[in-house]
Amino acid sequence: MEYRVEDDGVLGRAIEIVEIEEANTLIASGGALIFTTDERRYAESKSDPERRLAARLAAKRAVCRLLDDAISLEEVEVLPARGGPPRISLSETAARRCAAKKAGRILLSMTHGRAHAAACVLLVQEER
C-alpha cells in the first residue's frame, strides 16, 4: 500500500527515548535551564520529578528533530492539560519554523518507566 500525506495529514513523526539517568545528570550539571519554570514546577509536584522531566526532554528533542534542529530545546515547552494529553508550546521563532513546514498542530504522547522515558510527536498539516 502506498502512503500519502493527504491520507492522514501527518507531515512528520518522531520518537525519542531518554534514560532517566541522563536527565538526572543533565539537571545536576546545570542543564535544568532547558526546562521552563512551569515544567520544573509541574515535575516537582509529582513523586517522580526526574521521570517527568526526562519525558519532557524526550518530547523537546522530538519536536526539535521534526523542525530540522533549527530550534533549541529551550524554545519548546511541554504543558500539562487537565483531563487531556499534554501539549506543546513553541517560542515565536519555533512557531514560525513550524508554520513554514505547513504544520497546524503538534500532537504529543509521553510515557516513562523506571529507567527510560519516551515521547512520540506528530507534526500535522494545516487544515485546508
Q: Which helix (H) or strand (E) holds 110?
A: strand 103-112
Helix 49-66 and helix 20-28, axial crossing angle in degrees, nearest 10: 90
SS3 (DSSP) at 37: helix
In this predicted structure, the answer to whether residue 3 has a pLDDT above a threshold of 70 is no
- Per-residue pLDDT for 57 more than 90? yes
More confident residue, 33 or 71: 71
Give the model confidence (pLDDT) of 6-52 as tens digits. Answer: 567 899 999 999 999 998 888 888 777 899 999 999 999 999 999 99
For the segment 87-124, what is each residue's pLDDT rounded down to a tens digit? 999 999 999 999 999 999 999 999 999 999 999 999 99
- What sign does the CA torsion over 89, 121, 53, 80 have? positive
CATH code for 9-125? 3.90.470.20
Give the pLDDT band of residue 1 (cuts 50, 70, 90). very low
Residue with cell 504544520: 103
Selected residue with higher pLDDT from 82 and 21: 21
- The 8 Å CB, 24+ separation contacts for 68-75 are 68/97, 70/97, 71/97, 73/34, 74/33, 74/34
Q: How confident is the model at residue 4, as a pLDDT?
A: 55
**What pLDDT shows up at residue 26?**
85
Q: Where are the domains of the chain?
A: 9-125
* d(C-alpha 93, C-alpha 86), whole Å: 21
pLDDT confidence of residue 127: 72
